[in-house]
Amino acid sequence: MRQIGIIEDDNNLRSSIEAFIEIDEDLELIFSFESVEKWQAEYAVMKEPPSLLLIDIGLPGLSGLNAISLFKKVYTEVKIIVITGDDSSNTIWTAISNGADSYVSKPFSLKELKEQISIVCSGGAVLSPQVANTVLEQIRNRSGLTNEQLKILTKREREVVDELIKGLTYKEISKILNISSSTVNDHLKSIYQKMSVNSKAELIAKILTN
């Protein structure tokens, strides 16, 4: 059972997601609010932390963008999926740098959301196709051969990074690169060590900000 929290100011969308979660036997709705401030007012009486948080960026009061790091501090193990219509590169970079595990563009279907929740809770990451294209383009433009940290990665490690940024799971990466899942894991350990990071979110953020 995956415990889900929602922070979304669009009442119709929030209600749709709530109803979807309520009828899914694999998901449990822990809380749902229209703003971070509403969550803060109720936080003291909350007993169970969410395993995954769905949060919009354009919220009244404290923005979802600024709230990401707050939620990561309060719920240290939580996975965060940003759901937004803002695909600007600066917003994407900031969200990932602040700790977002995935970034999903509106509009999306509830079926897609279910798949994305499953991927993230299984250790993967999700980027909408248009967001993934923006990320890859910026990495190539910003990093390229001038990024000394990327230079120290092997060709295969760079291939793993490219697929990881697309939001693929270890199993999916292993199929694409025709290597075992354990080999993918070994490559990631090496990549994390070389890049001085501890997670996929940190890795992506570090690449994008160099």
CATH number at residue 198: 1.10.10.10
- At 199 the pLDDT is 74
pTM above 0.95, yes or no: no
Domain of residue 80, residue span? 2-127
Residue 81 burial class via C-beta count within 10 angstroms: exposed 0-12, middle 13-18, buried 19 and up: buried
pLDDT in tens, 63-105: 999 999 999 999 989 999 998 888 777 787 788 878 888 888 8
In this structure, the answer to whether residues 167 and 116 fall within a common structural domain is no
* Alpha carbon distance 147, 145 (integer Å): 6
Q: Determine the Cα–Cα distance for residues 3 and 190; give it in Å rounded to an integer.
A: 32
Residue 132: inside a domain:
no
Domain boundary among 127, 154, 179: 127
Q: Are residues 58 and 27 in the same domain?
A: yes
Residue 136 included in any domain: no
- Residue 20 and residue 101 in one domain: yes
Summary mean pLDDT of the chain: 83
Position 136 scores a pLDDT of 61
96 and 153 together in one domain: no
Same domain, 31 and 120: yes
How many domains, the chain?
2
Give the pLDDT mean for 188-203. Answer: 82
Look at residue 135 and tell me if it is in a domain. Answer: no
Do 50 and 7 share a structural domain? yes
Paired residues of 105 in beta bridges: 84
pLDDT tens across 123-182, in order?
Answer: 777 666 666 666 666 655 554 434 566 678 898 998 898 887 776 778 888 999 999 988
| pLDDT at position 30 | 94
* Same structural domain, 65 and 164: no
Share of the chain above pLDDT 90, in %: 35
Residue 138 lies in a domain: no
Is there a single domain that holds both residue 115 and residue 167?
no
